[in-house]
Each structure stands twice: as structure tokens, then as C-alpha cells.
């Protein structure tokens, strides 16, 4: 799917941040399912998969993707693909490192279905202690839960394995 020219689109997408976790690009997040470019390189179709059904960032992301690509393409189409459903398994290792550096504990392990648990952070993203506890199953965005470190006492977000 990635031709020499579609690389332009991928490079532009790699610079579109998630509006709520700006340390990650939409490519890091694993929501870009496909990029197709016309033979003359003037038209591009990008297929995105939403993270959560009601995630308010979804529409902002589609708009940001369109705006970014319009810099290099005459015609941009953003499509939505629901199946297969997005999973944190699609986060790259690089994305997980970025999350950690941003103070968000990355998802631990891989998703197993049926989903019975969303895992637990390996450690505190601030001090590295493994002595952590869940404060609440839901956090500031649909993809996160609220945890606390018992060593340094800092609360932190955990990106749920989902």
C-alpha cells in the first residue's frame, strides 16, 4: 500500500498529533488503517479506525488529518473503518515509549478476548516504583484509567490495555 509517493501522506500524518495526547501522532496511535494515493499523486484517501465509540477526539482527528493532507493534495478523503475494532495492540513500541516519557503508563501486555481485564501499569511513570494502585477505572479520556504511585505519591494516567 505504501508507494514511494504515498510516503508523503504518511510523513504528513506522522506529524498530526492526537488532540488529547499530543505526544502521540495518529500514526503512533495505530488508527491509520490505509493510505491510498491516486496515480497522479493529487488525490489521497485515508482510512481511520476510531479508538472508542464515543471518543470526542475522533471528529477533531478527522479534521486535523484532512487539514494536514490538504497542504500537499488537491483532494483529500477521510474514511472511517470500524472493523476490525481498534486495539492498544496497534500502538507501536515507539508510541509506548513516548507515552511513558509523557507521564502516562503505557498499556501492559496484549489484549485477550473476551476482555475481562485491562491490565495494570508495569510501574509508576514518574519514579518507576512497582508499588502502584488503581484510583478509578475511568480517566480524563476514554482510553485511560487513573492510578497512583504509593512510593512517590504521584497520581498518573494508565493507558488501558483495550
Partner 1 sequence: MSPTSEPLLTYADGALVLSHRLSEWMSNAPTMEEDIALGNIALDLLGQARGLLQSLGDEDQLAYFREPQEFRNPLLCELPNGDFAHTMIRQLFADAWFAEVWPALVADESADAQVRGVAEKAVKENAYHWRHSSAWVIRLGDGTEESQRRTQDALDALWPYRGEVASDEWYARIEPVLDEATLTTPGRDAWTQRSSADGWHTEHLGYLLAEMQSLARAHPGATW
Looking at 33, 142, 152, 154, which residue binds partner 1 (CB under 8 A)?
Answer: 142
**Are the C-beta atoms of residues 52 and 143 closer than 8 Å to each other?**
yes
Rounded-to-integer distance, Cα 128 and Cα 145, Å: 18
Q: Out of 118, 120, 124, 149, which residue is the one contacting partner 1 (CB under 8 A)?
A: 118
Longest alpha-carbon distance in the chain:
58
CB of 151 to partner 1, least distance (A): 21
Strand order in the sheet with 144-149: 104-105, 155-159, 144-149, 132-136
How many residues bind partner 1 (CB under 8 A)? The answer is: 29
Using the rule CB under 8 A, which residue among 5, 47, 72, 81 binds partner 1? 81
Q: Which residues bind partner 1 (CB under 8 A)?
A: 50, 52-56, 81-86, 111, 113-118, 135-140, 142, 146, 160, 162
Amino acid at each position: 500500500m505504501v508507494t514511494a509517493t504515498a510516503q508523503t501522506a504518511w510523513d504528513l500524518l506522522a506529524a498530526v498529533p492526537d488532540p488529547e495526547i499530543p505526544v502521540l501522532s495518529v500514526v503512533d496511535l495505530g488508527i491509520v488503517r490505509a493510505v491510498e494515493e491516486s496515480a497522479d499523486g493529487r488525490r489521497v484517501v485515508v482510512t481511520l479506525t476510531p479508538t472508542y465509540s464515543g471518543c470526542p477526539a475522533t471528529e477533531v482527528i478527522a479534521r486535523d488529518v484532512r487539514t494536514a493532507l490538504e497542504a500537499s493534495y488537491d483532494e483529500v478523503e477521510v474514511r472511517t473503518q470500524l472493523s476490525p475494532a481498534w486495539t492498544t495492540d496497534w500502538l507501536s513500541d515507539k508510541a509506548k515509549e513516548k507515552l511513558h516519557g509523557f507521564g502516562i503508563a503505557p498499556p501492559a501486555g496484549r489484549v485477550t478476548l473476551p476482555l475481562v481485564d485491562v491490565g495494570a501499569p508495569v510501574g509508576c511513570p514518574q519514579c518507576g516504583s512497582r508499588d502502584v494502585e488503581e484510583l478509578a477505572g475511568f480517566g480524563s479520556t476514554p482510553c485511560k484509567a487513573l492510578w497512583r504511585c504509593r512510593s512517590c505519591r504521584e497520581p498518573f494516567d494508565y493507558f488501558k490495555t483495550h
